[in-house]
Each structure stands twice: as structure tokens, then as C-alpha cells.
């Protein structure tokens, strides 16, 4: 059957357009719009004493200059704290333009609108801002000393403090279980700051329609519906008068889920005030210093275990660097502390985190969102246990696995969505078996020895993770079949390159029995779909995928009802193949879906051939009854929502073989293997693409990428000249195998895949380097100079 597309490696439909330059990104829109630019703080911590714009006023082409004082009620207030939490006792967000104090380099202070960006930047350079310097607080250690404060009213710079404790089955606390364990270890781990750095930065373009008193905003966002709600509220506009559209988006990786960004409020506000189109496109330096970062944590670990390596008690204290503000709440450290448990069933667990303010760029989720840090912690722990006991590292993991017959498995904690952390399905022993086969785990020791005899240092490492995906609360799908037989699918969440246009079309084509060529998909356009949450937490496949399937089922049912009427058949005897409804076993008794669409509309003007054909059926079908039957709505269309009871948990295991240079400490990845389980795959080729992209980002985090701040809070590497990213030349060939344990929680049995690739990479690379060098690797990323220093400290 040509319409069975779910699970097939269909090529990405969006690529022809995107790779041939036909994409329409934010900066391609509104070529005649006025341009906005911002004066941003050059200091990490300072009080603004005055702003003098006089020298800028004469610049030709200047349209307006705004400071905080110019902003009206609504716009002038601090930006929202999107996900409050009782433990976030001192949540703080920024004003859209700094009011009196700036708390990181890059904080916006003045907005300039001019005829183009060149003029706007010239004006910015002529505006003088006076500062009284305050002591910047940089780095976790300095912040926890509490000697200087980022926010005057936040003692000790602690924004949040949360403890979660799960006792052992026999009621022991983690401290008691560790105390009583035959073996114990304590150590510290350090993880540096990194950032999403999508190739397209943020951007917003707004048009005010004075006649209609309505606003249209294009934003490079991961959530157009939430930007819309925020704008309606902040600008005092009725919701139906605000439209927000995410055009093609050149990557998001988490940073574009924050909403509204200051510019997302200020640009539309100025467009309405000036009654002119206004646009702002973020430049690279702006992205580095005024969007968001993630990852930085210090972790103190204590673990107690038995002779087999089974963890009897684990206690982790996390210091989480939150930067200057907490617009996205404490989701990142909550995820670290809960997802740290991975595929393991451990005795007693205690985790405690403090979320610490520093005078640096704020922290919000970046692909993996706290999981890479959690996995780093747990997997380093597993390796240290194995080393202490002299046992095989894979065996120690296997000894701790949750077994396939133990699902659903309740970890006894509260997850990021406020619901219990209950794993729905998985088969961790089988994943490990596949991974060991794929990388050749059991044969590696001989390989290591052979290399050593030649003076080469090879090492192998592995890492496991479990990832909560598809978090709620809901997503919706709308299906419309028109009289030309085309299927129009829309869903409210947005796309940044994941391939939604392809996979959602696959789902609709499969459910409706139509050729995929007839299906078109729209995402992230509030004109088409008003209620949605957004794209993050690897949730689009699960949430919108299932919503679209449910909506298709509704429409299919209606199509069969209408067709049965026209064919004088029983709907139960009908099926749809290649866009044609026919009686099973009697293909001649058929009616195209296009005709069914016409029949579903009481206004059946003969605009096209299908409509004319439909009149053949129409007479018989509707002469003696009302044009719209009772209980029916006109049109062959339908909408449905999917709202899960809780998240579904994907999982995976990675392994790598690395070589370290004995002289230069250069680190090369020779092989990289992934076994991945995201339940039923809609499109295995896209899943592999997501994994490749994720691993590439993970390799960046493991070996290259870090945000380097000096003691004054200046970001020293705020450009792609200085912030090292891996090129294709540094990314190994990625060998992949899959496992499909369907999720019992949703109709399609799927779990998310979008973040999986990145999550365990740092842990895996650290383990492999440690194996090659015989030296503990307790920090990430690790550069050749870092490795060299570790060797020197160890006297090697
Ligand atoms: N997929 C599938 N079968 C499954 C699961 C997923 O075929 N069982 C497919 C999906 O249909 C989709 C892709 O894999 O095409 C990723 O799906 P999903 O796991 O639902 O993730 P989302 O679509 O919600 O994307 C978000 C996720 C996150 S959180 C980040 S961050 C991220 C990522 O995806 N940012 C990305 N991948 C990215 N890829 C690109 N190109 N750009 C980004 O900004």
C-alpha cells in the first residue's frame, strides 16, 4: 500500500527548499522595515547614573530612542518568570530595558529605531551611559561566598534551594545507606558553561495595522502561541488582534523557548507606537552576551556500594550557576537532579541543589537541559565504582539496571512537569548488549594493549541515560481536506529544523490513507492554530504527532460516514487507499476523498472538476434531509488535542574509542557508537539525523566549547573566532543501532528523540580519555591543554 508511511525513512521534504536558499528566515522578511538596535551594558555589574542622548539626536535617519523611562505600564515591568516553583524563593527577571542596575555584560539599556541598522548602530555609539561600578560576582565559588551580591535582596546569592530524598526499600536515608555500605567514595565534578549558539540568532519583525488595530509579529521563536499571549497582555491588546508567526527558524536548541525576550516586546511596542514596521535581528556578539547559556555546575558526590558494584546509597550536592536572572525558573537543576538516576535502580538517594546568581548571562535550557550534567555525574560514579572494585565498567552498570519486567518503574521523585518520575517502558540490558556488540567492547582490551605496545594510547568509555520526553500539558492538531483532495495539517508548536513537515505529513498520510504528496503541514502560525505550548523537551513527535493522529482519525471517521451515505454502503465496509474511499474488496464502488470533501460542504459550488463530480452523488445523498445533518459540521475537517498523564521516557547508551597523543595531549575520537530507544520511530532516518546532530553538539561540549569569563565578568570568547565549535572534520562517523520499546502512554507508542544525541557524550568521552590515560577525568570540557595539565599534576 502506498500510504503506509509511518516508520519509513522518508526523505525530508523541507530540505529541497531550505538547502536551495528558498527558506524564509526572519531577516528575509520586511526588507523595508525600520531597524532596531540596542545599547547594551559593557559592565557586568553597575548602577546606571545617567543616560545622555543629546549627541545622537542629530543623526540623519534616526527615528526614536527609548530608555526604561519611556516604557508604558505593562511594557516597563520585569519580564515574566515563566515556571515558578516553591523552592525558587528568590526568583528574579530582568526589565526589558535596564531600570537602574545592570547585572551582566550585554543587558539592554537603550533601544534605538532608525531607518536602517547602520544608522541605528551609529546612534547607539553616540549615546552616553554613566555607570557607578559595583563588584561583579563571577563563578560559583565566589558567588557562594556571599561576599558580594548580584541582587541586593538575595542573601548569599541563592535563588533556590531544593532537596529531594528517596529512602531505600528498608527505609534507610542515603546518609545511613552510605555509612553502612561496604565501599564508599567521595569526589567533586566540574562542568563548564556552554550555549546553544544556533546559526540563526534571535529576531523579531512587527507590523501594526492601524485600520484593523491589529498586530502581526514574526519571531524566530520556539513558541509562537506563548509570544502571542505575552504580547497581548503586555501591550493591552485583545488576543484575536495579535498574530505571531514563526517563519523558517535556523536552529533554536532551547534558547528560543524563553518568551518574551526583551526585544520581542519592545519591537512590536515600537511598531505600534510609530505605526511603522520595525525589525531587529540579533548579531552574533549579542547572542553570546545577551541571550542565555547553560551547563555550569559543581557537583559533590558521595556513594556507597557493595562488592558487585550495586549502589546502596548516593548523595549529590549540586551548585548550579544560574547567571543573573531566572526567567525559566529552576527547570535545569531539577532535571539534573531527577534524570541523574538514569536506567538505574539504586538504594537510597539524596540530591540537593542550590541555584546561584552570578553577574553573567542568565541560564535557561540548552538541548539536553540539565541531563548532560546529571549523566556526567552518574556515569563518572559508575566508572569510579568499577575502578575501585576492579570490575568491568559495563558489568557494574548492568548490576544496577532496572529490569524489563519492572516497568512501570517509579523512581519516587517529582519530575520537571511536577508529576511522579515513573518510567513507562524500556529494555536496558538489551540496549547494553547491542552497544557492546556494536563497539566491540569485549575485544577492546586486546586492542588497547596492542596499541600501547606501539606507543599509542587508546581508551574506551560508555555512558547510559534515560530521558523524560514529550512533557505535557498538551498539543493539538487540525486537519482539513479540501475539494482538490489536498490535506492541510496544522499544529501550534514550532519547527527549528527537526523535520516536522516530513514526519507530521507521514502520520497524516498513514492515518488518512492519502499520498504524502497531497499533505501539507504548517507549524508555529497562530493564524492556523491558536493553542499550543511549544517545541522543547523533545515533545513535538509525542505531543503533536499524537494530536495529529487523533485529529486524522476523527476526520477519517467523518469521511467514511459521508462516503457511506453517497455509496449507500456501511461505513464499516469502507477503507481509504491512495486518497480514494472504496468498499473493501470492491474497488469500483469508490469515491475520491476530494469528492467527499465537496459533499461535506453544503455550499457545493462547482468551482472545480471534483465539485462537478460530486454533484452526481449529491442529489442522491441529500435531497430529503437538511444540508448539514444533525450532529455534523460543514467541511471535511477536524481538530483534536493530546494531553498525556505524564512524560514518556526514552533511553540510550553511547560508547566511544579515543586516542590521546602522548606528547601533545591531542584527543581524537576514533569510533562513536549509539544505541537508541525512542519507542516507535516515525522516521528512522530523521531520528538518526537528530542523533548525529546531538552527538556533534555533545562532542563540542566534551572537547571544545566553554564560555570564558574573566574576573570582571567580561566574556572573553564572545565570537565564533574564539568560541571553539567542532567542524565536520572533528565529528566521528556515528554508528547507530535502534531498539523500539513502544510507550504504553500514547496511541502511537512513541517517545522523543531530539535531545538524545547530546546527553551522554561528555560522560562517554571522559570515560574513554580516563581509560586511555589511567588518570581521573572529573571536569568537562577537556582540551589538550587541560589534559596536559592533568598529566603534569599527576607527575606524568
Ligand atoms: N522522531 C521520530 N520518531 C520518534 C521521535 C522523533 O521520527 N519516535 C522525529 C520527530 O518527528 C522529529 C525529530 O525526530 O522530526 C525530533 O522529534 P522530538 O524528539 O519530538 O523533538 P522535537 O521535535 O520536540 O524537537 C525538540 C528537540 C529539542 S528539545 C532541541 S533543543 C532540539 C532538537 O529537538 N533543537 C533542534 N533538535 C533540533 N534539531 C534542529 N535541527 N534544530 C534544533 O534547534
618 located within any domain: no
Regarding whether 246 and 278 lie in a shared domain, the answer is yes
pLDDT value, residue 1: 42
What is the spatial distance between Cα 196 and Cα 288, in angstroms, rounded to a whole number?
9
- Cβ–ligand 1 contact at 368 (below 6 Å): no
- Cβ–ligand 1 contact at 253 (below 6 Å): yes
399 located within any domain: yes
Spacing, Cα 249 to ligand 1 middle (Å): 14
Which phi and psi (to 5°) does residue 185 adopt?
A: -140, 150
Residue nearest to atom 32 of ligand 1 (CA): 253
What is the spatial distance between Cα 790 and Cα 796, in angstroms, rounded to a whole number?
9
Alpha helix stretches (DSSP H) within 236-304:
262-274, 284-290
Residue nearest to atom 27 of ligand 1 (CA): 754
- Cβ–ligand 1 contact at 750 (below 6 Å): yes
Sign of CA dihedral 376, 377, 379, 380: positive
* Cβ neighbours of residue 96 closer than 8 Å, sequence gap 6 or more: 68, 71, 75, 76, 79, 108, 262, 265, 266
Regarding whether 180 and 320 lie in a shared domain, the answer is yes
Which residue among 499, 690, 741 has the greatest number of ligand 1 atoms within 8 angstroms of its CB, and so is best to mutate? 690
What is the spatial distance between Cα 242 and Cα 207, in angstroms, rounded to a whole number?
10
Cα within 13 Å of Cα(562), Cβ side: 35
pLDDT value, residue 772: 97
Beta carbons within 10 angstroms of residue 180's beta carbon: 14
Spacing, Cα 751 to ligand 1 middle (Å): 10
Regarding whether 659 and 765 lie in a shared domain, the answer is yes
Q: Which of 451, 61, 517, 40 is nearest to 262 (CA)?
A: 40
Residue nearest to atom 40 of ligand 1 (CA): 497
What is the spatial distance between Cα 97 and Cα 41, in angstroms, rounded to a whole number?
10
Rounded (10°) CA dihedral 70, 74, 77, 82: -140
Q: How far is CA 292 from CA 12, 133, 154, 289, 695, in A?
A: 30, 23, 21, 8, 21
605 located within any domain: no
Which ligand 1 atom is nearest residue 687's CA?
14
What is the spatial distance between Cα 326 and Cα 84, in angstroms, rounded to a whole number?
9
Regarding whether 114 and 236 lie in a shared domain, the answer is yes
The three-state (H, E, C) secondary structure of 108-147, written as one string: EEEEEEECCHHHHHHHHHHCEEEEEECCCCCCHHHHHHCC
Spacing, Cα 473 to ligand 1 middle (Å): 18
Report the SS3 class of residue 696.
Answer: helix
Spacing, Cα 504 to ligand 1 middle (Å): 12
5 located within any domain: no
Spacing, Cα 169 to ligand 1 middle (Å): 37
Spacing, Cα 535 to ligand 1 middle (Å): 8
Regarding whether 215 and 175 lie in a shared domain, the answer is no
Regarding whether 171 and 119 lie in a shared domain, the answer is no
Regarding whether 674 and 661 lie in a shared domain, the answer is yes
- Cβ–ligand 1 contact at 754 (below 6 Å): yes
The enclosing domain of 407 has a CATH number of 3.30.365.10
What is the spatial distance between Cα 672 and Cα 737, in angstroms, rounded to a whole number?
12
pLDDT value, residue 220: 98
The enclosing domain of 48 has a CATH number of 3.90.1170.50
Spacing, Cα 344 to ligand 1 middle (Å): 25
- Cβ–ligand 1 contact at 690 (below 6 Å): yes
Q: Kindly give the parts of the chain with pLDDT less than 50.
A: 1-2, 620
Residue nearest to atom 26 of ligand 1 (CA): 538
Spacing, Cα 99 to ligand 1 middle (Å): 38
Regarding whether 228 and 200 lie in a shared domain, the answer is yes
Regarding whether 308 and 178 lie in a shared domain, the answer is yes
Task: Determine the structural domain holding residue 559 and report its residue range.
Answer: 473-600+635-642
Which ligand 1 atom is nearest residue 367's CA?
31
Regarding whether 570 and 702 lie in a shared domain, the answer is no
Express each pLDDT in 290-300 by its tens digit: 999 999 999 99
Helix count and strand count (H, E) for the chain? 19, 29
Spacing, Cα 540 to ligand 1 middle (Å): 7
* Cβ neighbours of residue 337 closer than 8 Å, sequence gap 6 or more: 162, 164, 316, 318, 351, 353, 374, 413
The number of domains in the chain is 3
Report the SS3 class of residue 692.
Answer: helix
The three-state (H, E, C) secondary structure of 159-193, written as one string: EEEEEEEECCCCCCCHHHHHHHCCEEEEEEEEECC
Which phi and psi (to 5°) does residue 460 adopt?
A: -125, 145
Longest CA pairwise span in the chain (Å): 95
pLDDT value, residue 139: 94
- Cβ–ligand 1 contact at 367 (below 6 Å): yes
Sign of CA dihedral 403, 695, 731, 194: negative
Q: How far is CA 195 from CA 175, 274, 296, 689, 756, in A?
A: 35, 35, 10, 21, 17
Express each pLDDT in 45-93 by its tens digit: 999 999 999 999 999 999 999 999 999 999 999 999 999 999 999 999 9
Regarding whether 301 and 242 lie in a shared domain, the answer is no
- Cβ–ligand 1 contact at 499 (below 6 Å): yes
Regarding whether 200 and 65 lie in a shared domain, the answer is yes
Amino acid at each position: 500500500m502506498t500510504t503506509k508511511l509511518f516508520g519509513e525513512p522518508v526523505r525530508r521534504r523541507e530540505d529541497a527548499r531550505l538547502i536551495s536558499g528558498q527558506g524564509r528566515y526572519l531577516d528575509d522578511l520586511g526588507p523595508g522595515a525600520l531597524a532596531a538596535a540596542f545599547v547594551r551594558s559593557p559592565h557586568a555589574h553597575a548602577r546606571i547614573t545617567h543616560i545622555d542622548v543629546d549627541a545622537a539626536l542629530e543623526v540623519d535617519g534616526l527615528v526614536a530612542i527609548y530608555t526604561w523611562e519611556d516604557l508604558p505600564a505593562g511594557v516597563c515591568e520585569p519580564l515574566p518568570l515563566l515556571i515558578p516553583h516553591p523552592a525558587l524563593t528568590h526568583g528574579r527577571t530582568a526589565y526589558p530595558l535596564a531600570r537602574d542596575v545592570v547585572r551582566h555584560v550585554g543587558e539592554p539599556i537603550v533601544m534605538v529605531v532608525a531607518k536602517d541598522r547602520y544608522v541605528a548602530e551609529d546612534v547607539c555609539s553616540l549615546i552616553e551611559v554613566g555607570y557607578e561600578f559595583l563588584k561583579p560576582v563571577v563563578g560559583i565559588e565566589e558567588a557562594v561566598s556571599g561576599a558580594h551580591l548580584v541582587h541586593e535582596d538575595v542573601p548569599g546569592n541563592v535563588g533556590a534551594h531544593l532537596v529531594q530524598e528517596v529512602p531505600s526499600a528498608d527505609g534507610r536515608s542515603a546518609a545511613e545507606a552510605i555509612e553502612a555500605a561496604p565501599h564508599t567514595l567521595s569526589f567533586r565534578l566540574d562542568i563548564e558553561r556552554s550555549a546553544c549558539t544556533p546559526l540563526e540568532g534571535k529576531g523579531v519583525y512587527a507590523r501594526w495595522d492601524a485600520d484593523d488595530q491589529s498586530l502581526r509579529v514574526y519571531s524566530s521563536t520556539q513558541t509562537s502561541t506563548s509570544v502571542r499571549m505575552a504580547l497581548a497582555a503586555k501591550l493591552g491588546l485583545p488576543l484575536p488582534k495579535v498574530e505571531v508567526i514563526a517563519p523558517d527558524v535556523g536552529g533554536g536548541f532551547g534558547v528560543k523557548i524563553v518568551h518574551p525576550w526583551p526585544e520581542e516586546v519592545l519591537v512590536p511596542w515600537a511598531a505600534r507606537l510609530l505605526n511603522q514596521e520595525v525589525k531587529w535581528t540579533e548579531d552574533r556578539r549579542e547572542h553570546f552576551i545577551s541571550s542565555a547559556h547553560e551547563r555550569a555546575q559543581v557537583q559533590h558526590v558521595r556513594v556507597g556500594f557493595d562488592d558487585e558494584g550495586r549502589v546502596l546509597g548516593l548523595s549529590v550536592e549540586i551548585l548550579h550557576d544560574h547567571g543573573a536572572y531566572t526567567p525559566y525558573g529552576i527547570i535545569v537543576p531539577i532535571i539534573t537532579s531527577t534524570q541523574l538516576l538514569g536506567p538505574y535502580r539504586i538504594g537510597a538517594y539524596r540530591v540537593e541543589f542550590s541555584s546561584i546568581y552570578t553577574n553573567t548571562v542568565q541560564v535557561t535550557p540548552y538541548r539536553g537541559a540539565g541531563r548532560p550534567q546529571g549523566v556526567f555525574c552518574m556515569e563518572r560514579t559508575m566508572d569510579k565504582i568499577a575502578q575501585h572494585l576492579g570490575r568491568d565498567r559495563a558489568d557494574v552498570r548492568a548490576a544496577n539496571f532496572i529490569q524489563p519486567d519492572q516497568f512501570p518503574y517509579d523512581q519516587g521523585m517529582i519530575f520537571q512537569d511536577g508529576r511522579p518520575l515513573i518510567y513507562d517502558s524500556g529494555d536496558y540490558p538489551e540496549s547494553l548488549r547491542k552497544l557492546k556488540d556494536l563497539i566491540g567492547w569485549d575485544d577492546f582490551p586486546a586492542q588497547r594493549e596492542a596499541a600501547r605496545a606501539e606507543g599509542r594510547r587508546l581508551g574506551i568509555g560508555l555512558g547510559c541515560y534515560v530521558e523524560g520526553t514529550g512533557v505535557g500539558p498538551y498539543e493539538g492538531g487540525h486537519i482539513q481536506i479540501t475539494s482538490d483532495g489536498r490535506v492541510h495539517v496544522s499544529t501550534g508548536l514550532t519547527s527549528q529544523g527537526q523535520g516536522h513537515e516530513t514526519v507530521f505529513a507521514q502520520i497524516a498520510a498513514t492515518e488518512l490513507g492519502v499520498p504524502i504528496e497531497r499533505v501539507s503541514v504548517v507549524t508555529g502560525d497562530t493564524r492556523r492554530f491558536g493553542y499550543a505550548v511549544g517545541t522543547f523537551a523533545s515533545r513535538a513527535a509525542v505531543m503533536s504527532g499524537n494530536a495529529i493522529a487523533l485529529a486524522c482519525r476523527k476526520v477519517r471517521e467523518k469521511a467514511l460516514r459521508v462516503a457511506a451515505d453517497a455509496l449507500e454502503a456501511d461505513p464499516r465496509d469502507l477503507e481509504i487507499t491512495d486518497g480514494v474511499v472504496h468498499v473493501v474488496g470492491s474497488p469500483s464502488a469508490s469515491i475520491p476523498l476530494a469528492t467527499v470533501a465537496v459533499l461535506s460542504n453544503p455550499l457545493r459550488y462547482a468551482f472545480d472538476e471534483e465539485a462537478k463530480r460530486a454533484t452526481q452523488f449529491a442529489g442522491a445523498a441529500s435531497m430529503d434531509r437538511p444540508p448539514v445533518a444533525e450532529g455534523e459540521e460543514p467541511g471535511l475537517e477536524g481538530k483534536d488535542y493530546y494531553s498525556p498523564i505524564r512524560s514518556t521516557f526514552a533511553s540510550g547508551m553511547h560508547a566511544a574509542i579515543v586516542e590521546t597523543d602522548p606528547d601533545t595531549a591531542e584527543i581524537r575520537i576514533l569510533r562513536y557508537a549509539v544505541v537508541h530507544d525512542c519507542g516507535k520511530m516515525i522516521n528512522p532516518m530523521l531520528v538518526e539525523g537528530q542523533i548525529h546532530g546531538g552527538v556533534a553538539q555533545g562532542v563540542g561540549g566534551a572537547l571544545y566549547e566553554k564560555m570564558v569569563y574573566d574576573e570582571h565578568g567580561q566574556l572573553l570568547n564572545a565570537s565564533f573566532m574564539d568560541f571553539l565549535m567542532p567542524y565536520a572534520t572533528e565529528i566521528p562517523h556515528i554508528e547507530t543501532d535502534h531498539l523500539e520499546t513502544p510507550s504504553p502512554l500514547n496511541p502511537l507508542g512513541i517517545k522523543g528523540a531530539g535531545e538524545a544525541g547530546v546527553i551522554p557524550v561528555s560522560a562517554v568521552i571522559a570515560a574513554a580519555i580516563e581509560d586511555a590515560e589511567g588518570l581521573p577525568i572529573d571536569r568537562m570540557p577537556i582540551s589538550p591543554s587541560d589534559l596536559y595539565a592533568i598529566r603534569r599534576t599527576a607527575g606524568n
